[in-house]
Amino acid sequence: MIEVDSRGRRCPLPIIDLARKMPSVEVGEVVRVLADDPAAANDIPAWCRMKGQEYLGSPAPDTYDVRRLR
C-alpha cells in the first residue's frame, strides 16, 4: 500500500497530493491518504468519482483508501 501523508494540509492540497501520486501507482494498487482536513471526507470520494478511481472507504479516522482502476 502506498501512503500519502497530507495531515496538516488544507483543501485542496490533499486532493492535489493524491492526484500527483497517481501516475506512479500501478493499476490495482491502493493509495492510503492521511488527511485531517474535514473537507477530505467529501473531497476524496468526489475526486474518485470524477477520475474513475475506486474509493474504498475510511478504515480509520483521517484515513482514506483509493484503488487505482486506470
Q: From the candidates 2, 11, 22, 30, which is the catalytic residue?
A: 11
Q: Is 11 a catalytic residue?
A: yes
Q: At what angle do helices 40-51 and 13-21 cross, to 10 degrees?
A: 40
Amino acid at 45: P
60 forms bridges with which residues in the sheet? 63
| Residue whose C-alpha cell is 500519502 | 4
Residues forming the active site: 11
